[in-house]
A and B are shown apart, each in its own frame.
Chain A
Amino acid sequence: MAILTADGVLFPDNTELTAGFRIIAVRFAYDATAITSSVQRSAQFLNCEVTMPPTDSNNSRYLIMGESNIDDTNQNTCGADLELWVGVTPPGGGTETTHWVSRPGTHSHYWGGNTNDKYWQLKNFHIDDGATTTTISQGQTRRYRAYGNNHNNNVNFGAGTNTDAGPRHKLIVIEFDGGLI
């Protein structure tokens, strides 16, 4: 219950007042570097990482939005995806555990036998609810990254796209109050 004081109004906490319609935190990272695949079917860091503030509650959920693009380097069979990763440190510190939030697979965007020049947009839009990573709990630190993966070792991630300007790889993470989900 709110208390009227001599110079204002005090609320004991904001839990009841904000339940169900509050965004907790937003973090984002951009990078504009073209990254050439070096190993097929191996995740490559796209230089986008965000560290979220300590998890607000056990009910928090994380919306993750990743975007990049590829160009095939030799006009041949190719495939790629954008993968999301999280490192979770327990409340108060300790050993970080790392997990894949989402790996669509290097065939998720793929064209076999096409010898034309091709560019694709890579995107991954995912909610981390702890089910495929590790249980979300108050006070954890969750660190998210975007990776690119490829099927035939013949792609450039964040390729120049003629008239592009600004970031080529993007990672946006939004922590939602559980009541919003």
Chain B
Amino acid sequence: MATISGTGLSFPGILGELGGVIGPNYIARWARDDGPVASSQQLSNNLGLEVIMPPVTNVNNKYLIIAEVHTDDTNSNTCGVGLDTWVGATPPGGGTEDTQWIDRQGRHNTYLSGAYNTYFIQHHWIIDDPGQTYNSPSAVVGQTRKYRVYGNAHNNNINFMNNNVSNHVGWNGYLCVIELDQSLF
């Protein structure tokens, strides 16, 4: 809510009452990592890609998640990958973080059996509708939502954020989260 000060009006945040009216109706945060991160298990591996969004101002806001990760298999053999999106929701004022999967592509999402030297570039995008998208926890005003992307390896033989791509320039992996004002939906 806007408040009257001695010299004018103050607004609590750009996604407050005037989001999309006199200011942007989105907030973007992103993280990069140039790795590599070797798979240490066949399940989900934390890739070090994490963003913390500003405290929730509207429980109906949603979050567009975009991720890209380069991979290389370590032994030129059967391999598969997928990216999993994760959220940690901390209650207003602190407390126990509720950690959940937003969704999981699965470790076969891109896959090839046989003895090949295999590189993949894996993408993932999804809108987190709090309380609706798979296991996403509901939003609460003041809650802090922390997003991560995990790499899932089918045969535990993957370097995520692999930096050994011939002629590659730029990030080896990134996670971008855009909070979208509820008025957009």
Binding site for B on A (CB under 8 A): 11, 14, 17-18, 21-28, 30, 65, 67, 69, 71, 114, 116-121, 123, 159-167, 170, 172
Task: For the complex, give the distance between the alpha carbons of A149 and B103 in Å.
Answer: 24
Contact among B25, B123, B127 with A172 in the assembled complex (CB-CB below 8 Å): B127
Contact among B104, B111, B112, B127 with A163 in the assembled complex (CB-CB below 8 Å): B104
| CB atoms of B109 and A26 under 8 A apart | no
Residues from chain A with a CB closer than 8 A to the CB of B51 are none
| CB atoms of A17 and B21 under 8 A apart | yes
Residues from chain B with a CB closer than 8 A to the CB of A161 are 80, 82, 105-109, 111
Q: Type the 1/0 row for B76-108, where 1 means its CB is closer than 8 Å to any CB of A.
A: 000010100000000000000000011111111
Residue B43 CB within 8 A of the other chain: yes
Give the one of B64, B103, B111 with max A CB within 10 A: B111
Which chain B residue lies CB-closest to A69? B109
| CB atoms of B107 and A65 under 8 A apart | no
Q: Which of B17-35 contact A (CB under 8 A)?
A: 20-22, 24-26
Contact among B114, B125, B135 with A116 in the assembled complex (CB-CB below 8 Å): B114
| CB atoms of A165 and B104 under 8 A apart | yes
| CB atoms of B123 and A163 under 8 A apart | no
Residue B46 CB within 8 A of the other chain: no
Residue B45 CB within 8 A of the other chain: no
Task: For the complex, give the distance between the alpha carbons of A163 and B153 in Å.
Answer: 10
Residues from chain A with a CB closer than 8 A to the CB of B146 are none
What are some 8 contacts across the A-B interface (CB < 8 A)? A71-B108, A118-B112, A119-B111, A121-B123, A163-B43, A164-B105, A165-B104, A167-B134
Task: For the complex, give the distance between the alpha carbons of A120 and B109 in Å.
Answer: 6
| CB atoms of A22 and B107 under 8 A apart | no
Which chain A residue lies CB-closest to B114? A116
| CB atoms of B103 and A18 under 8 A apart | no
Binding site for A on B (CB under 8 A): 20-22, 24-26, 43, 62, 64, 80, 82, 101-114, 122-127, 133-135, 152, 154, 180, 184-185
Residues from chain B with a CB closer than 8 A to the CB of A172 are 64, 125-127
B33 to chain A, nearest CB (A): 20
Residues from chain B with a CB closer than 8 A to the CB of A160 are 106, 108
| CB atoms of A162 and B127 under 8 A apart | no
| CB atoms of A162 and B107 under 8 A apart | yes
Task: For the complex, give the distance between the alpha carbons of A14 and B26 in Å.
Answer: 16
| CB atoms of B110 and A69 under 8 A apart | yes
| CB atoms of B184 and A165 under 8 A apart | no
Task: For the complex, give the distance between the alpha carbons of A166 and B101 in Å.
Answer: 9
- With known contacts A163-B82, A166-B134, A172-B125, A14–B21 Cβ distance under 8 A: yes
- With known contacts A121-B123, A167-B103, A25–B134 Cβ distance under 8 A: no
Contact among A17, A21, A116, A120 with B110 in the assembled complex (CB-CB below 8 Å): A120
